[in-house]
Amino acid sequence: MRIVVDPDRCQGHNRCHVLVPEVFGVDELGYSVVVLTDEVPEHLVARTQEAVRNCPERAISTDDGSEHDAG
């Protein structure tokens, strides 16, 4: 699984960084960025999926097209 943060949607809540700092970082303006250049390691997949679901702005998606469901 690969992760993408949409910089136009991210509002800097950084829930993802709190949940999985191994995958998400924070840029100089306080917005989330992906710090991995490779696929998410298997031992971090569940926590990363939780971060995707917890993004209030739906700014995080995976390479399989899944993203936070507003419902």
Ordered by where they begin, the domains of the chain are 3-62 (3.30.70.20)
CA 13/CA 38 separation, integer angstroms: 24
| pLDDT digit string, tens, across residues 47-56 | 999 999 999 9
Burial of 55 (0-12, 13-18, 19+ CB in 10 A): buried
Q: How many helices (H) and strands (E) does the chain have?
A: 2, 4
Residue 64 pLDDT more than 80? no
pTM: 0.85
Residue with more model confidence, 50 or 64: 50
pLDDT digits (tens, 9 = 90+) for 14-42: 999 999 999 999 999 999 999 998 999 99
In which band, very low, low, confident or very high, does the pLDDT at 69 lie, cut at 50, 70 and 90? very low
